């Protein structure tokens, strides 16, 4: 029996509900490291000229306010992540698929809400753990203005940046996080970072201010995820958001999904090898997607999917079995024969659960959270999810 040296990696999406593959301790600690030891920064975000509307108004997407080019201009490097922990980019944006509405009834803590128009960039910092640049955007159509005004009272006005109103908040002199608000017309952008370089922060704020003015005049849609040709990955990229949507959400929960979708975007090709080193190695690319409906009082319903795409079916099957084996040995696997290839239901020690199956060269993880109907047993969970998983299998075959 093959022995796999592993440590558990858990990706918590908006729903906090997905247990994912584990990386070999004796392989690269950076799972994105290729055989030659070089990191492969493959991610490209292409502009999307088609703006998305919500309640008749064009949405300013958070990841359009500060872009990868702006990070580079400020001397910052995107964290090279294969989509395990953390993502290179985590974004929650309007894509026009969810037919539900944003609950704006809460008039407090708006800047710390987890379900909003938001963009998180992981930043590479060699001297310490990774940094972050976080952008949130607020517009009247999906924002409680009273809550926003209440938060703004904590900020102090500073000189305009590129003709855009600017505000700053700092808890105390020891606070390492830099907290800014920019306002252009009815658009408010909250920018939050732990970057220490003042010149870099200034550059990011200037870029954000310029883009807010441009986006107010000409809104655009969420950038399109693509990957440039990689010497480490010859197959095509798989976007998990293409395989679930509002109809699946409604079939599962009986209501429409909210208008925001959350994506976990890997910035590079992943690499893992078995123990002993050199026996087998696998390159892969990951993507995660969640549709949700959040109530202001805290209840949420979330449908999540994650895809791990390998270069071919043979490598996918070998990796799939490699990850399944330690779970089966721990006796926390239940086989589900009616979905894809090798489907199983698994529950981790932390209670997080997954329905996992293989379709060709793609490993799929699915799960959901339901604070409204509150399924009480594992059987109820995978029985509810099975029809949607079966539909995903058919879509992937097309």
Task: With cut-offs at 50, 70 and 90, classify the pLDDT of residue 37.
Answer: very low
Residue 27 pLDDT > 60, yes or no? no
Of 160 and 131, more confident: 160
Residue 320 pLDDT > 50, yes or no? yes
DSSP-derived letter for residue 297 is T
Of 33 and 303, more confident: 303
Q: What are the pLDDT digits (tens) for 50-100?
A: 999 999 999 999 999 999 999 999 999 888 776 655 568 999 999 999 999
Chain centroid, CA 109 distance in Å: 22
pLDDT score at 298: 75
Residue 16 pLDDT > 50, yes or no? no
- Report the mean per-residue pLDDT for the chain: 83
Q: State the sign of the Cα–Cα–Cα–Cα dihedral 127, 41, 307, 52.
A: positive
Task: With cut-offs at 50, 70 and 90, classify the pLDDT of residue 13.
Answer: very low
Burial readout 154-183 (b: 16 or more C-beta within 10 A, e: otherwise): ebeeeeebbebbbbebeeeeeeeebbbbbb
The pTM of the full predicted model, rounded to 2 decimals, is 0.86
* Residue range 5-33: mean pLDDT, rounded: 32
Tracing tokens 């490097």 back to the chain, one arrives at 77
Tracing tokens 């994650």 back to the chain, one arrives at 306
Tracing tokens 């944003």 back to the chain, one arrives at 102
Closest C-alpha among 70, 75, 50 to residue 212:
70
pLDDT score at 387: 95
User: What distances in angstroms separate CA 229 from CA 126, 233, 269, 323, one per listed residue?
Assistant: 26, 8, 11, 27
Q: Is 120 helix (H, G, I), strand (E, B) or coil?
A: strand
Residue 219 pLDDT > 50, yes or no? yes
Of 346 and 108, more confident: 346
Express as a percent the part of the chain with pLDDT over 70: 81
User: What distances in angstroms separate CA 164 from CA 36, 96, 144, 198, 305, one per listed residue?
Assistant: 47, 29, 22, 19, 39
Domains plus CATH for the chain?
Answer: 10-28+230-397 (3.40.1000), 48-81+89-223 (no CATH)
DSSP-derived letter for residue 149 is H
Quick count: other Cβ atoms within 10 Å of Cβ 233?
22
Q: What are the pLDDT digits (tens) for 285-310?
A: 899 999 999 887 778 999 999 999 99
Express as a percent the part of the chain with pLDDT over 90: 54
Of 13 and 102, more confident: 102
Q: What are the pLDDT digits (tens) for 183-205?
A: 999 999 999 998 989 999 999 99
User: What distances in angstroms separate CA 63 from CA 53, 203, 366, one per listed residue?
Assistant: 16, 16, 26
User: What distances in angstroms separate CA 236 from CA 233, 273, 313, 359, one per listed residue?
Assistant: 8, 21, 13, 15
Of 10 and 275, more confident: 275
Q: Rank 36-45, 156-165, 316-325 by mean pLDDT and report only the highest.
A: 156-165
């Amino acid at each position: 029996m093959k022995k796999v040296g592993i440590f558990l990696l858990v990706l918590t999406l908006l729903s906090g509900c997905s247990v994912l593959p584990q990386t070999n301790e004796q392989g690269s600690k950076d799972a994105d490291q290729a055989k030659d030891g070089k990191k492969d920064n493959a991610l490209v975000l292409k502009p999307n000229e088609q703006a998305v509307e919500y309640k008749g108004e064009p949405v300013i997407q958070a990841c359009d306010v500060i872009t990868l080019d702006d990070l580079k201009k400020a001397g910052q490097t995107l964290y090279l992540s294969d989509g395990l922990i953390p993502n290179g980019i985590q974004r929650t944006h309007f894509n026009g698929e969810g037919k539900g509405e944003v609950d704006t009834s809460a008039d407090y803590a708006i800047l710390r809400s987890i379900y909003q128009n938001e963009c998180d960039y992981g930043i590479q910092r060699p001297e310490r753990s990774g940094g972050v640049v976080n952008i949130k955007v607020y517009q009247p159509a999906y924002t409680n203005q009273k809550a926003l005004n209440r938060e703004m009272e904590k900020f102090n006005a500073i000189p305009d940046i590129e003709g855009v109103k600017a505000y700053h908040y700092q808890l105390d002199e020891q606070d390492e996080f830099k907290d800014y608000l920019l306002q252009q017309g009815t658009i408010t952008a909250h920018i939050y970072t732990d970057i220490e370089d003042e010149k870099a922060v200034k550059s990011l704020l200037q870029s954000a201010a310029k883009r807010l003015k441009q986006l107010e005049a000409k809104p655009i849609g969420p950038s399109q995820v693509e990957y440039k040709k990689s010497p480490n990955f010859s197959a095509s990229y798989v976007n998990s958001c293409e395989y679930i949507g509002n109809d699946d959400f409604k079939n599962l929960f009986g209501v429409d999904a909210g208008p925001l979708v959350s994506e976990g975007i890997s910035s590079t090709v992943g690499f893992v090898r078995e123990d002993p080193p050199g026996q087998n190695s696998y390159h892969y690319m990951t993507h995660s997607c969640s549709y949700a409906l959040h109530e202001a009082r805290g209840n949420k319903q979330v449908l999540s999917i994650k895809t791990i795409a390998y270069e071919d079916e043979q490598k996918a099957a070998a990796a799939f079995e490699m990850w399944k084996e330690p779970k089966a040995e721990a006796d926390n696997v239940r086989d589900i024969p009616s979905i894809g290839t090798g489907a199983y239901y698994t529950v981790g020690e932390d209670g997080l659960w997954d329905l996992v199956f293989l379709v060709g060269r793609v490993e799929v993880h699915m799960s959901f959270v339901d604070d409204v109907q509150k399924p009480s047993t594992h059987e109820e969970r995978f029985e509810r999810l099975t029809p949607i998983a079966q539909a995903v299998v058919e879509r992937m075959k097309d």
